[in-house]
Amino acid sequence: MASTRKLSSDEVDALIEGLGDGGGASLDLADGAEVRPFQFGSDDLSLLGDYYALRMINERFARFARSVFLPMLRIQPRISSFPPEVKSFDDYSAAIESFMSLNISRIEELRGNILMVLDPNFISILTNAYYGGKIAAAGQRRNEFTTTEERVIELITDGLNETLETSWRDLTPIHLQLQSREVNTQFASFVDGSDLVIICSFVVQLPNVDAANFDIIYPLQTLKPIAAQLRSRVQSDRIEDDQSWRERLERAVLEIPLKLTGRLSEPSVSMNRLIRLKTGDVFPIQVGDGVEVLMDDKLLYRGEMGEVGGQAAISLTERMLR
């Protein structure tokens, strides 16, 4: 596909201004000023820094997205993210298959769209596993999705869009609204072929089959309005806490079952007497002050025997382990 890159309005103004000055006017530069060359037709890729903030969002998204595929695969897959890559949409389209699941969503806060690209083989694996089959790759190539697969695509995109909103929440709140679905990049009204896009690729590790991939693509122009926020996050050394993860971890720790032991006495007896004991014999024990409550063989509390609601109970009187 041929590139159709056009000059921006700023570039056209710069050319007209240069022609008006005769093309040979000299510039008065202050002492020590540095002249930096500029190539027309290029975008300032340093605007977003080194994409560190976007990498952090992708890592969080990869962690949360496992819950989207869990009900379908009945296992929790391992999802990894690749570093963001910048290239033209023409170059990206030339590198993928002609038949793909292309899902375009609108980010109203940024006045732009994003594109979610799903591999048809991955869709087949999810559909087969979701309806009780095994996790296995499709045997033949196709050029259209079945009605069942389209329903699975709808479930996946809804779940991933919701997860993506959660992943972006700490940086800036966004809301995604699905616009359209296509199966060929030539029919996807996303961006011009020459426009630069940021490609965020993810790989899903599955048992007994090759790893599956899906991509989330942001136009460079869509992220420019929040370039200052992206840069500030890159320069900051403060790490934001993932509150939802901390809360779930705390609840999981607090629900761990622990076995407590109440020890009334711990007598000692000789082996000779022990082997001569028989039914009906009385074995005297020396009861100390109260009951010892142990956890993992460590003395935790002292208490007193009592009764609550017709059941034996221990009233804790002193904490021993600090």
Whole-Å CA distances, 155 to 62, 69, 152, 171, 313:
17, 10, 5, 26, 52
Over the chain, what is the mean pLDDT? 82
Tell me if residue 264 falls in helix, strand or coil: coil
Of the chain, the percentage scoring pLDDT greater than 90 comes to 32
State mean pLDDT over 157-162: 95
Least confident of 59-68, 158-167, 272-281: 272-281
Residue 103 has pLDDT above 90, yes or no: yes
30 contact partners, CB below 8 Å, separation of at least 6: none
CB of 285 closer than 8 Å to CB of 268: no
CATH number of the domain at 45-252, please? 3.40.1550.10
Largest CA distance in the chain: 121
- The confidence score (pLDDT) of residue 232 equals 61
Q: Which of 82-86, 121-125, 130-134 is least confident?
A: 130-134
Task: Write out pLDDT tens, residues 163-173.
Answer: 999 999 888 89
Q: What is the mean pLDDT of residues 118-143?
A: 85
Helices 66-73 and 147-168: angle between axes, nearest 10 degrees: 150
Domain boundaries, the chain: 45-252, 258-267+290-322
Distance, in Å, from the CA atom of 69 to the CA atom of 80, rounded to the nearest integer, reads 14
Instruction: Give 191-248 pLDDT, tens digit per residue.
Output: 888 899 999 999 999 888 888 999 999 999 898 888 877 766 444 444 455 567 778 8
- 28-79: pLDDT as tens digits: 555 566 666 655 555 555 555 667 888 889 999 999 999 999 888 988 889 9
Alpha carbon of 257 to those of 6, 253, 254, 260: distances in Å? 66, 9, 8, 10
